[in-house]
A and B are shown apart, each in its own frame.
Chain A
Amino acid sequence: MRRIVLMIVVACASAGARGEELAPADLQFLNRITYGATARDIADYRALGREGYLRRELVSHEDDGLPPEAATFIASLPVSRIRPEELAAELRSARRAAFGKSPDEKKEMVKALRQEFRELDFQAFERRTVRALYSPHQLQEMLTWFWFNHFNVFQAKKQVLFLLPDYEENAIRPHVLGKFRDLVRAVLMHPAMLVYLDNAENAKDAINENYARELMELHTLGVDGGYTQADVQALARILTGAGIDLSSRPNGTYGDFYKEGMFAFNPNRHDAGPKVFLGQSFPGSRNFAEIERAVDLLCAHPSTARFISHKLAVYFLADDPPQALVDHMAATFRDTDGDIAATLATLFSSREFSDPAYMGKKFRDPVQYVYSAVRLLYPGQVLRNYRPLAGALAQLGEPVYGHQTPDGYGMKERDWASSDQLEKRFELARGLVGGRARLFVTKDEIDAGVDPARLAQARDAHPVDRAAIEPLVAPLFSPCTKDTLAKAANAEEWAALALSAPEFMYR
């Protein structure tokens, strides 16, 4: 073994780079703003040029760029047509039906409902994954993950279970490239967040600090953003009355009572007394305006500009991004009234973003690893079964909608690079290649006991195409990696090793 390694090291010295289709720098650039560049992304990038490509990617798109098969898959999901209000109605009628039933019967009813809601959450994961794998607008999909994670909610907490698909689709996704304030406001007015961080329970004379603290610490100012415990208490009082209304009452304003979707501002639960928040006097009022003012104050705060800019730079550039660049991004953020696309444009066009010193240095988190692997192996080949991917993410420690605490998953190398993580990735790489048949038959077929001939057919229909994969990864591989890969006995072993290579752990 030792001898083999030595021979490889010697061989490396003589190996040189060979001409590839896209310059490594351009490939690395694309790899950082996609879930792994595919031939299609490269073609778009070539046709549009870097500036044109960025211009296209820095605005939100509908699903019309998806391949028809992917669009059909999303359209076929019940979660795509069921509205959360219908689920609330279902919950209400279940409550009525439960009246007079035995405790055991009630338990069964709750179990069945939760199962149905969990299934819808899984469909939300399928929707998210189909877009991440097949949309040409990769940046938008990465940002959907980024902002969901920034405003994390945990699937298993109370009603979050049925509110989550709507939260991701309608509170987060429409704003991922828009104004930061719109994002904060949409989150604040979504029942999923209000339930998750307990603000639905925060009321005059029954104060709960949970959301107030995290809104400053995690969502806007950052922990060193300059707020005090007194500010936490003041914001908690300001946020009183912002809660949920799952009744069938129509949207509208009823005096100071205000309802929009399942969000409700209830003036009778609101602490209308005077407060001092972040040094500003809040004289106290009985309406939602006080909350809007607090959100404005938080979003316009210089600490928020710095905190958000830093976090974006960490996600896209480096675990420890240069301060001058973060300051530059923060200036853009402030000058553009918190425009996320403009802030990102500053980052992507910076000198650092094209500096080779920063390339291939971001350790992929499990989501990036799994999505990149599937995109590399089976580009444009729409999967029929997403359960293995959810299972892989759970194994790698990033379970879908499963982060219990509001900080979201970490985004740095130190959060993910561990011995157990690497070993699991090596096993997964083999599984994604050797067990690929299970990705291309539906989970219903598998549950029904799929015919081996059917599996063999699925496997043969999706061969590992080494010739197509190689130009996308080989330019990033060291000569040593290439030498080891050259010893692979066949295309499948080669692909599993390529996905296990140290270079593929980074983007």
Chain B
Amino acid sequence: MDRRHFIRSGAAGTLALLSARLWAAGPADVKLLVVMLRGAYDGASLLVPYSSAFYYRARPVIAVPRPGSGDPNAAIALDSDWALNAAVRDSLHPLYTNRQALLVPFGGSGDLSRSHFQAQDLMELGQGEGRLDYSSGFLDRLVEALSGKGQFGGVSFTNNLTPVFKGAVPVPNVSLRGNMRNTLPPRATEMIASLYEGTKLSGLAASGMETKRMVSAELMDEMAQSARGAGPARAFESRARAIARLMRDRRSYSVGFADVGGWDTHVNQGSAQGALAANLSGLAGGLAAFAREMGPLWKSTVVVAMSEFGRTFRENGNRGTDHGHGNTLWVLGGGIAGGRIAGRQIAVNEANLFQNRDFQVLNDYRALLAYVFSRMYGLDSAALDRVLPGAKPGGYDFI
């Protein structure tokens, strides 16, 4: 196979229609969730380039079996080149066949450090050109750009604020971990507020107490269920449902961020079964649950999942993979024109590897985000440039 084609932008008319539908419900119903897969997940085990003979040569143990190979764990063909890991048979695959999921291989950032930590920060800051200015991340800049457009606000479903939400607009975080019961009586709340009055932490203190008071009742049951004996995969599903309930019911929670760890599979990663497959199943199952829980709002919701970089194309000496470069980005949404593989592609063969080890990055994640933001929110190019400096919307046609 020598395939060298580009997937081009489609008919603009259809796009405008879909976009109008996203907006029809009103700006307050437009929801965005960005999910960071920390540790660099192995995209080639999710979206399997099964028409590549090189894939099977390069991964003698961990390759996912070809569709139609008779193997009960065979990958599920999406088209003549790509297939999905069977671990997401009941979660991501139905979304894909309903045109609510879209995958972008050869995606990622320009990072070449192959350092998880630097690459994650770079991705979350989203300033381009290797810039690591910790004063603002791209989601915070997005919320800032949207501030004049109705009730848009950010929320981070993380233990603490990560670089993506650093910036001029203070954003609350809800850790969804541990005890959700609120034990602060009103008198204590008032006295603490006055302790913080006029200090630089006053906004955080006030929003922390307010957020806890509001979400605790809503989430007590959910959290009580998840605390009992749930494995990591199930744990994300429960978290994802809670995230959906909060984003669905709270108007100001329109731009959300969550992260999921455990992807750094240097050893025994498995293929259609094993540690990585279990993680993929947990992630996809969680996002499918998120979609269900959003209810009618799912139509105007977009989820983007991404990882700081990809993994080596060849398996290493321990049936695992090491730090690589390009990876597969996910876009989900009830109103997108999904059900396909998008973005620039090239043949998956040895000659096309980046530095003779990794997938290339042909589809910059910032160009994908710029496209999504411009379609979802109708941001003009000046606003877009403040959110993602220097990035141009990629040639996509799914919103």
- Chain A contact residues, CB within 8 Å of chain B: 1, 4-5, 8-9, 198, 201-203, 205-210, 213, 217-218, 223, 229, 232, 394-395, 397, 404-405, 407, 414-424, 426-427, 430-431, 480-481, 484-485, 487-488, 493, 496-497, 500-502, 505
Contacts and interface: CB of A to CB of B under 8 A. Distances in A.
9 contacts: A201-B267, A416-B160, A418-B156, A419-B207, A420-B160, A427-B184, A480-B194, A493-B188, A497-B192
A481 B199 CA distance: 10
B115 A208 contact: no
A119 to B, nearest CB: 19
A484 B194 CA distance: 7
Contact of B39 (A207, A405, A485): A405
B204 A419 contact: yes
A423 B191 contact: no
B233 to A, nearest CB: 15
A420 B159 CA distance: 7
Interface string B246-272: 000000000000000110101100000
Which 10 pairs from chain A and chain B are nearest by CB? A206-B317, A423-B208, A419-B208, A397-B159, A395-B178, A419-B207, A201-B318, A210-B266, A209-B322, A419-B172
Given A421-B208, A501-B195, 18 more contacts: A1-B194, A198-B318, A201-B267, A210-B322, A213-B115, A223-B115, A223-B118, A405-B38, A420-B173, A420-B211, A422-B205, A422-B208, A427-B183, A484-B191, A484-B194, A497-B192, A500-B192, A505-B201
Given A414-B134, A481-B195, A206 B204 contact: no
Given A206-B316, A419-B208, A484 B266 contact: no
A421 B177 CA distance: 12
Nearest to B318: A201
B178 A208 contact: no
B355 interface: yes
Nearest to A197: B266
Interface-centre pick from A8, A419, A493, A505 (highest chain B CB count, 10 A) = A419
B78 interface: no
A431 B198 contact: no
Contact of A1 (B178, B190, B267): B190
A418 B173 contact: yes
B211 A9 contact: no
Given A208-B320, A421-B160, A1 B193 contact: yes
A417 B323 CA distance: 31
B192 A208 contact: no
Contacts of A229: 114, 355
B261 A404 contact: yes
A395 B179 contact: yes
Contacts of A422: 201, 204-205, 208
A217 B115 contact: yes
A404 B208 contact: no
B209 A5 contact: no
Nearest to A504: B195
Contact of A208 (B197, B262, B322): B322
A424 B184 CA distance: 10
A416 B207 CA distance: 15
Contact of B198 (A209, A423, A480): A480
B184 A426 contact: yes
A112 B266 CA distance: 28
Given A223-B117, A487-B191, A208 B204 contact: no
A206 B318 contact: yes
Contacts of B190: 1, 4
Contacts of A505: 201
A217 B192 CA distance: 42
B166 interface: yes
Contact of A420 (B172, B191, B318): B172
Given A5-B194, A223-B117, A426 B209 contact: yes
Interface of B: 38-39, 113-118, 134, 156, 159-161, 163, 166, 170, 172-175, 177-179, 182-184, 188, 190-199, 201, 203-205, 207-209, 211-212, 261-262, 264, 266-267, 316-318, 320, 322-323, 355
B104 to A, nearest CB: 25
Contacts of B163: 414
B323 A209 contact: yes
B191 A497 contact: yes
A223 B132 CA distance: 13
Interface-centre pick from B163, B194, B195, B198 (highest chain A CB count, 10 A) = B195
Given A198-B318, A422-B201, A405 B264 contact: yes
A208 B183 contact: no
B266 A208 contact: yes
A424 B216 CA distance: 12
Given A1-B190, A229-B114, A415-B160, A430 B183 contact: yes
A480 B212 contact: no
A497 B183 CA distance: 14
A77 B264 CA distance: 35
A208 B207 contact: no
B175 A420 contact: yes
Given A198-B266, A419-B173, A397 B116 contact: no
B204 A417 contact: yes
Contacts of A502: 195-196, 199, 201, 205
Contacts of B266: 198, 208-210
Contacts of B267: 198, 201, 208
B316 A207 contact: yes
Contacts of B208: 418-424, 426
A405 B264 CA distance: 9
A420 B213 CA distance: 11
A269 B43 CA distance: 31
Contacts of B355: 229
A424 B160 CA distance: 11
Nearest to A12: B198
Contacts of A5: 193-194, 197
B358 to A, nearest CB: 10
B316 A484 contact: no
A137 B20 CA distance: 66
Contacts of B156: 418
Contacts of B264: 210, 405
Nearest to B317: A206
Interface-centre pick from B163, B172, B199 (highest chain A CB count, 10 A) = B199
Nearest to B205: A422
Given A198-B266, A208-B322, A394-B178, A4 B183 contact: no
Nearest to B181: A427
A74 B211 CA distance: 41
Given A9-B197, A198-B266, A213 B323 contact: yes
Nearest to A158: B267
Nearest to A498: B195
A414 B264 CA distance: 25
A155 to B, nearest CB: 14
Contacts of A485: 195
A480 B197 contact: yes
B84 to A, nearest CB: 27
A414 B201 contact: no
Nearest to B206: A419
